Structure formats: structure tokens, C-alpha cells
Structure 1
């Protein structure tokens, strides 16, 4: 009885994890292509106002791409979600501290989630005349970001930031949250209107 129940649960989990892959295919990794901008997706900032280890890895990946001349502009996307700290401002400070010129960073401070990150970043791209972007986030989050970017008709590729070693086990819980969001999005029929 218990073994049968575990088997059914395993099948359901496998199915849920495969739905986005089946519907949307493989992620389109950047592989050194030049892009008009780099979009670093935000992640919650702790109450101390310093970037969390996950956000720091996203920032580091964005800096790496910038230094490889993938793009001369970085969009930091993220508002104030769990406290008064604005994710985009925290990313901006970290980028400037590490030598990225202020004039090459654009802050998008209004987003409360992934959909808003991409919608608001697309508006910035339109205002600046940018046609293409490389989206930076962690591996779990990129699937959801890719689905949204495709729906918004953003010309994009992705690059994944590392998961800090001390958080690898916890990051698996992130998959549950991300895939819950994808399923919720698919069921909601949320539309992007330009």
C-alpha cells in the first residue's frame, strides 16, 4: 500500500517537473553571443541589506558576461519584496563596487516577481532601443523566466548563475516553488499585452 502510494507520488512529481520541458523545450543558453543588454533578475535581500548568496552569484555572473563583452549594458531588475531593500539598488551598489561603470547600469525597481521583472525590463529595452538580452538567474528560475520571456516575445538567451554550495540541498526546494509558479501561470492563461 505505502509502496504503491510512493510510486504514484513519484510519477506525479516526475510529470510536474517534465511539463515545462515538454511544452517549452530546452533552455537557450547564450554561448558567447553578443547581446544588447544583460538582465540580472533579482532575489530577495535579507534585512541586513546585503546581497544574499544567491543574489551575489547572479551579480557575479552578470559581471562575468559584462567583462567578456557580451553586452555593454546591465539591467538590474527587482523591487522591494520582503522588506524595504530594493533588489535593483543592492545589485547596482555591488556592481559599482566591483568596477562596473555607473552609466552602464540601469535599475528597474518596481518588480515584485519574475513576470514583472521581464515585463518592466522589456519596457526598458524598448525605451533604449535594445533588441536582445541575455537573462541571468539560477538554473531553477531560468525555466520560468524563459517561459515568460518567450510569451513576451523578448529576443533572449539565458545564462545560469551558480548555486552556492551551502545552499545546494535547499535549492531543490526552489524547484518545487518555481514549478508551482509555472503550473499556476499555465493554468491562469495570463497574457502579456504590449
Structure 2
């Protein structure tokens, strides 16, 4: 074998081994995050707080909240009715269809008996990171510190990280409603997406990056 050819083959082999190790580490990290995010979202940490925050989700072309947004809103209404907070903050800007996610959630909450004066709208956010930022601005301006953060179970790990980063004492509460169930298949799909989103959050944090648009 020619010396140069042998050296090239060795380098290729080493590169292949390195790539294999990185791939294995990626699989291990993905699996670890999957388990942690899943477990975290199964525990309801709701307790007395200053506000209940409903994280936004899609609005249908009819203007009605999607199943995810309805599920989150109705869960927040139950927490409000239990007396855990005196105010509900509905978060979310307008997506593909009007109205804003915050308005759609607020209308549903009022339909269920929550008085308008007990609802605050945050209508600027287009992401979970932006929701945490803009909601924290509202809270700090009004002297509020503690928030029950309502979303689907798969979403709560990242929401908790982001609200904590924004200076909010967050109590994550997974949304459940028999009228708007989340199928196992849909849950696993969204859980997989959250693993990627959480990994990206850690990458951004390590690089000091932010995607908040103000």
C-alpha cells in the first residue's frame, strides 16, 4: 500500500469513528431529553399565584380556538374558579387567521364565566420565548411575580425554562380537558419536536443568542 494512500485511509477511518461517536452522543442526548421533558410535563405544579398564563396556540379560520388553545384556556378557567389566581393572562399574537390567539382564548374564558376585568391580553408574541418576555413585562409592570403557566404537558419544560429566564416564578400546569383530548400519536409527535426545540434553546443560551423581536 502506498504510504499516502494508507494515511488517507486512516484519516477516513478516524473521521468515521468520530462521526459515529457524535451520532451516538446525539441519540443519547435526544433520549435523555425525551424522558426528562415527558416526566416534567406529567406533574401539575399549580399553586396560589398572582396570575394564570395561557400560552397561545393556533386559531381556526372560523376564528375559534384550536383544540390545543381551547384545552389550555379551559384548564386555566378551572384554576381561576378554584381561586388559585385572580387574573388570567392570555398570550399570543395573530397567526394565519384572526383574531389574535390571546383574543380567542379570552373570548372562550369569558364564555365560561370569567369576567373581562379578570383577563389581561398579551398580543405581541409569536413564540414561547416571546410570550415569556412580553408576559414578564406585563407582570413586572404590575408588581406580579408568580404565575401558573398553562400549556400542554410536552411544552412545559421549555416554557418553565423561558419564564424562569424572564424573571418569573413559574408553576407549570399541564392542560387537560375531556372535550379536547390530545391523542397519544399527537403527543409523541409534539414531544419529539419539543426535544429539538429544547436542544436548540440550550445551544442559543450557550452562545448568548435570542430570537425575541421587540
26, 45, 49: which one pairs with 1:30? 45
1:6-28 superposed Cα distances (whole Å, 9 cap, x missing partner): xxx898555314248769x9567
CA distance in 1, matches of 2:98, 2:181: 28
Match of 1:140, SS? helix
Structure 2 alignment gaps of length 5 or more: 1-22
Match of 1:136, SS? strand
Match of 1:135, SS? strand
Whether the aligned pair in 1 keeps the contact of 2:40 and 2:156 (CA below 8 Å) is: no
107, 114, 117: which one pairs with 1:103? 117
CA RMSD of aligned residues (A): 2.8
Match of 1:71, SS? coil
The corresponding residue for 2:90 is: 76
Q: Does 1:169 align with 2:196?
A: no
Change (3 A) 1:140 1:26: closer
CA distance in 2, matches of 1:170, 1:153: 31
TM-score using structure 1 length: 0.84
After the TM superposition, which segments of 4 or more aligned residues of structure 1 sit over 4 Å from their partners? 9-14, 20-23, 25-28
Whether the aligned pair in 2 keeps the contact of 1:20 and 1:182 (CA below 8 Å) is: no
- Displacement after TM superposition at 1:85 (Å): 2.7
TM-score using structure 2 length: 0.76
Match of 2:151, SS? strand
Whether the aligned pair in 1 keeps the contact of 2:59 and 2:101 (CA below 8 Å) is: yes
16, 22, 45: which one pairs with 2:30? 16
The corresponding residue for 1:150 is: 164
Q: Does 1:178 align with 2:194?
A: yes
1:95-134 matched pairs, under 5 angstroms: 95-134=109-148
CA distance in 1, matches of 2:66, 2:124: 19
Change (3 A) 1:54 1:182: same
- Displacement after TM superposition at 1:30 (Å): 2.5
Change (3 A) 1:187 1:11: closer
Give 1 or 2 for the bigger CA radius of gyration.
Answer: 2
CA distance in 1, matches of 2:48, 2:91: 20
Count residues with an aligned counterpart: 184
